[in-house]
């Protein structure tokens, strides 16, 4: 019972002591506002940078995942990188006849100017494709019809446009049945896409689709080097992938270095690895400023020890122990770091949400916020140890005689 009472009294005295040391720390910080603010600035910038960069990196990863997954797990992407070889229209028909393949949609990016009367779109992207493109990419029409197989076979000058492009060119007018100019050629608008945002790096709302056989009117050939393949079931993905690879090798007689057949899972894994690596790299760069901020804390605490040498001497002469002086300066260093950490978190989250208004995706998890804040507190302790130790080991007689 007696030991319990002693421990209770000791704990009470410790709480009172820490409370007093916290008061002293806040008083000293308040007495040197500008110096304290400049000391915390490095930590604030470091923590805010980590949160913003990692949050934007996570947001980019989420965007990539949603864009890739929007195509579905039953889609294969085929790309032929050889400059000398490509698939023909007949090859495309033979490919579509392979087992478990539901649909094939070639696509070719076309560079051309889209206009209507005096209005020209500078953001639009043109894709030459076939009648399967909408089904394969899970895009839907708001009005009109899709490109038909007859359009492809007869090289009809028809097109489907995205919602934003329609607003730019037609304002409030219904675009279906109207015409647009593509490098001077008139194309009839047969369909209007539902708004869908971005997918696989393409802004669907600013997209214009034409039959790939009409690409020759715009100075392009009708060879096929990129296409989407829709599989009957994701269970057959691996089987179909092997079939397509074998078909390309036999048809074009090229090695695997000049073509790729990728499932959405493999694309997702690759792109996620890239974005995660970039996020870690950016976080590492931003963390350097946290180290610089920690050095600033140590520097200021060393100056504080020098300025308060006489105060330390008086406290020691009145019975303060080394651990009391050590704890006083450690707490002061920690308070500076914690205040800097809190402000850094607030500013980082604020800047992140502002970045969303500029078009970036910001996704800062609770984990990264807690890690950044904890890192700030640890830096305060680590860089505060040397100044605190230096203050604690001062000889009281020398300290009292210091100028």
Instruction: For residue range 31-60, list pLDDT tens digits in order.
Output: 777 777 877 887 888 888 888 888 887 777
Which range is least confidently modeled, 188-202, 226-240, 328-342, 381-395? 381-395
Do 144 and 191 belong to one domain? yes
Do 222 and 135 belong to one domain? yes
- Residue 11 reports pLDDT greater than 70: no
Do 151 and 183 belong to one domain? yes
Do 187 and 38 belong to one domain? no
Q: According to the model, what pLDDT value does residue 401 have?
A: 54
Do 229 and 99 belong to one domain? yes
Find the domain containing 287 and state its range: 18-66+271-400
The mean per-residue pLDDT over the stretch 224-241 comes to 87
Residue 169 placed within a domain: yes
Q: How many domains does the chain have?
A: 2
Do 104 and 242 belong to one domain? yes
Q: According to the model, what pLDDT value does residue 297 have?
A: 76
Q: Give me the percent of the chain exceeding a pLDDT of 70.
A: 80
Residue 225 bridge partners (DSSP): none
Q: According to the model, what pLDDT value does residue 263 have?
A: 77
DSSP 8-state symbol, 87: B
Residue 195 placed within a domain: yes
- Residue 161 reports pLDDT greater than 70: yes
Residue 6 placed within a domain: no
pTM higher than the cut 0.75: no
First to last CA, the chain: 50
Residue 77 placed within a domain: no
Do 308 and 386 belong to one domain? yes
Alpha carbon separation from 215 to 11, 112, 221 (Å, rounded): 83, 10, 6
Average pLDDT, the chain: 80
- Residue 151 reports pLDDT greater than 90: yes
Residue 74 placed within a domain: no
| pLDDT tens profile 185-223 | 899 999 999 987 766 557 888 899 999 999 888 888 778
Q: Where a domain ends, among 253, 284, 318?
A: 253
| pLDDT tens profile 350-403 | 888 888 887 778 887 787 788 878 877 787 777 777 777 776 676 655 555 555
Which range is least confidently modeled, 16-25, 96-105, 233-242? 16-25
Task: Between 180 and 73, name the one with better pLDDT.
Answer: 180
CA–chain centroid gap for 395, Å, is 54
70 near 138, Cβ under 8 Å?
yes
Distance CA 215, CA 222 (A): 6
Under the banding of pLDDT at 50, 70 and 90, the label for residue 70 is low
């Amino acid at each position: 019972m007696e030991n319990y009472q002693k421990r209770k009294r000791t704990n009470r005295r410790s709480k009172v002591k820490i409370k007093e040391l916290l008061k002293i720390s806040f008083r000293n910080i308040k007495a040197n506002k500008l110096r304290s603010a400049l000391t915390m600035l490095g930590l604030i910038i470091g923590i805010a940078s980590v949160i913003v960069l990692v949050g934007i990196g996570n947001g980019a990863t989420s965007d990539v995942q949603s864009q890739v997954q929007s195509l579905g797990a039953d889609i294969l992407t085929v790309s032929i990188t050889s400059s000398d070889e490509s698939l023909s229209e007949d090859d495309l028909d033979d490919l579509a006849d392979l087992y478990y393949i539901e649909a094939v949609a070639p696509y070719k990016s076309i560079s051309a100017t889209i206009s209507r009367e005096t209005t020209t779109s500078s953001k639009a992207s043109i894709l030459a494709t076939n009648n399967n493109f909408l089904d394969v990419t899970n895009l839907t029409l708001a009005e009109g019809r899709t490109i038909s197989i007859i359009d492809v076979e007869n090289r009809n000058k028809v097109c489907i446009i995205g919602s934003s492009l329609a607003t730019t060119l037609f304002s409030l007018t219904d675009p279906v049945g109207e015409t647009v100019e593509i490098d001077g050629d008139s194309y009839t608008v047969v369909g209007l896409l539902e708004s869908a945002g971005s997918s696989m790096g393409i802004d669907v709302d600013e997209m214009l689709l034409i039959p790939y056989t009409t690409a020759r009117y715009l100075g392009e050939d009708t060879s096929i080097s990129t296409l989407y393949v829709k599989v009957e079931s994701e269970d057959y993905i691996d089987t179909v992938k092997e079939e397509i690879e074998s078909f390309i090798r036999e048809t074009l007689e090229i090695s695997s270095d000049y073509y790729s057949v990728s499932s959405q899972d493999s694309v997702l894994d690759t792109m996620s690895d890239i974005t995660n690596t970039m996020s870690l790299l950016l976080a590492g760069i931003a963390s350097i400023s946290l180290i610089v901020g920690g050095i600033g804390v140590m520097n200021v605490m060393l100056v504080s020890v020098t300025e308060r040498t006489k105060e330390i001497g008086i406290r020691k002469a009145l019975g303060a122990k080394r651990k009391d002086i050590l704890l006083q300066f450690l707490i002061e260093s920690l308070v500076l770091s914690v205040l800097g950490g809190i402000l850094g978190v607030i500013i980082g989250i604020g800047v992140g949400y502002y970045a969303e208004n500029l078009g970036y995706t910001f996704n800062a998890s609770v984990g990264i916020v807690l890690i950044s804040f904890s890192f700030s507190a640890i830096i305060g302790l680590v860089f505060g140890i040397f100044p605190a130790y230096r203050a604690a080991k001062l000889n009281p007689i020398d300290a009292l005689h210091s100028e």
